[in-house]
Amino acid sequence: MRQIFTIFYYTLLRNLRDTGETVLQMVVFPIVLIFILGNALGGTFEQPQIGVSEIGYVRLDQGPVADYFEEFLAGDEIAKLLNVNQVDSRQQGLEMLEDREIVALVELGEDFSQRVMEGKTSPILVTTHPASPFRAMVIENILESFIQGGNTLQALTSMGVEQPEFVFAGGIIEDKSISTTGLTPRAIDYYGVTMMVMMVMYGALYATSGMSSSYLATIGQRIKTTPVRAAQQYIGLVLANVLTVFGQVVVIMAFSGLVFQVNWGDNLPLVLLIALLMVVLAIGLGTMMVMLVQDERRASSIISTITVISTFIAGGYFRVNIPGVAGLIQYLSPNYLAQTAIFNTVYSGPPQQTIIMIAAMLGAIIITFGIAMVAERRAIR
């Protein structure tokens, strides 16, 4: 036990003395990235407001169904979403659409009412601007509600109901606004998590450096001649590197939370536990890599490449959505496992998914350290 503590103490002391790497690269740099990305990309995380959409309206039909349609568009609730501009012709409407004066052009043909009364297909022609797909979807859904009402009238007529009336009844749906504050991350919250996790991945370089010097370099050969057993040396090095990186995590979380108001949630112990597991996983990855390749420079290069790829796949630099089966590749990213578990904890995500992420991290820890120990024993032989 004494030998483990001695190795732990001097390894930790060596890590802390390297202020250039410890303070600048592993603490200051992530904090600066959180500030820059959190402010520069803040607009991409804001919840969009639908507002009122400008539409053009061409009426060539003078029948009663067209009157119903205009009454529908003039309703108070529809007016909150659509501002109807009367247009004289289709050509004028298309020009307004091209100039972005309106986002959609709605047209009723000359025989619209007649075809409806005869039970024939009576299309409402809608032309939308490709630059406004979301507003186009809103407009189409609103018009769809009128069409469903018309279909109901036709069904009642076919059942023998005389002169059914189309009456738009507003106020049926009670609108209650729900604030998204605290339910979804702001940009500063998002990058507070992703940059912290990325820093942890770079913390694997402590393992590549420490294990290389203690096992592969000249000092490592000297240690082998001492009474210190390989397991004691191994445990002492790992514990010191884990404590070093985890201490940096705590500093980043405390600073970002107090200064940038990054939301780390109400269950801080669980967030810290997830972060600790991520630290152990990163140290295990670095240890495994240096033991496999038996070269610090190559191991560090591989770790840096893995960190960049893993951060990208997990959406660390910007949010990504990988559809379909290809999305399963994200589960190979340690960053994704930790980020998902932390976001679920902070923003009340599915607890089952959080458990799966934690279990996957524990599995990865066992695998990395297991491979590292086997490779270390072969290296000693």
Could you tell me where in the chain the CATH 3.40.1710.10 domains are found? Answer: 53-175
Distance from C-alpha of 204 to C-alpha of 241, rounded to nearest angstrom: 9
Q: Is the pTM of this model over 0.75?
A: no
Average pLDDT over the chain, rounded to whole?
81
Report the chain's terminal Cα–Cα distance, integer Å.
Answer: 25
Identify the pLDDT of residue 233: 73
pLDDT-derived band at 249, boundaries 50, 70, 90 = very high
- What CATH topology corresponds to 53-175? abc type-2 transporter like fold (3.40.1710)
Identify the pLDDT of residue 69: 81
Say how far residue 32 (Cα) sits from the centre of its chain.
20
Say if CB 187 and CB 236 are below 8 A apart. Answer: no
- Tell the residue number behind the tokens 């205009």, with chain if given: 70
**Start-end of H helices in the chain:** 2-17, 19, 29-40, 64-73, 76-79, 90-98, 112-117, 133-158, 187-202, 204-211, 218-224, 230-259, 268-293, 296-313, 334-346, 351-380
How many other CB atoms sit within 10 Å of the CB of residue 363? 12
Identify the pLDDT of residue 208: 83
pLDDT tens by residue, 262-271: 999 999 999 9
pLDDT tens by residue, 358-381: 999 999 999 998 898 887 666 555
pLDDT tens by residue, 87-114: 888 888 888 888 888 888 888 888 887 7
Say how far residue 28 (Cα) sits from the centre of its chain.
24
Distance from C-alpha of 202 to C-alpha of 355, rounded to nearest angstrom: 25
Distance from C-alpha of 87 to C-alpha of 286, rounded to nearest angstrom: 67
